[in-house]
């Protein structure tokens, strides 16, 4: 192997594809009463964080989903072992709202 060449692993960076939350049809809604990390009060599980292709879930005792960059793919909800994440239609959430700066809320 050439010493000049580095091998690196690709990983998503938040916002790499832009503010994709603006074209989401469904949004993930987390139920802290079911979330394993939230119930334990410490960083555990984090399977939603591991599987998010856009890197928009922050690790924590209760993972936080950045809806500005979440495109609503639903992988986090599908992979959650505790069924703590539900994909809810944007229409039921009042649609994806954009603030004055152009950011999704």
Per residue in 52-76, pLDDT (tens digit) is 998 899 999 989 999 998 999 999 9
Ordered by start, the domain boundaries in the chain are 30-93
Are 87 and 30 in contact by the 8 Å Cβ rule? The answer is no
Beta bridge partners of 85: 30
Q: What is the CATH topology of the domain spanning 30-93?
A: Alpha-Beta Plaits (3.30.70)
Reduce the DSSP state of residue 47 to 3 states and report it: helix
Among 104, 81, 93, 82, which Cα is nearest to 28's? 93
Question: What does the pLDDT look like over 78-100, one tens digit per residue?
Answer: 999 999 999 999 877 654 455 56
């Amino acid at each position: 192997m050439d010493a000049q060449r580095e091998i690196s692993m690709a990983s998503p960076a938040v916002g790499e594809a832009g503010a994709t939350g603006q074209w989401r049809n469904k949004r993930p809604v987390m139920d802290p009463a079911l979330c394993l990390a939230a119930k334990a009060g410490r960083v555990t599980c984090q399977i939603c964080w591991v599987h998010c292709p856009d890197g928009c879930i922050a690790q924590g005792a209760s993972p936080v989903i950045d809806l500005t960059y979440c495109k609503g793919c639903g992988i986090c909800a599908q992979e959650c072992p505790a069924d703590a994440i539900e994909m809810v239609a944007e229409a039921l959430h009042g649609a994806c709202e954009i603030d004055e700066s152009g950011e999704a809320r």
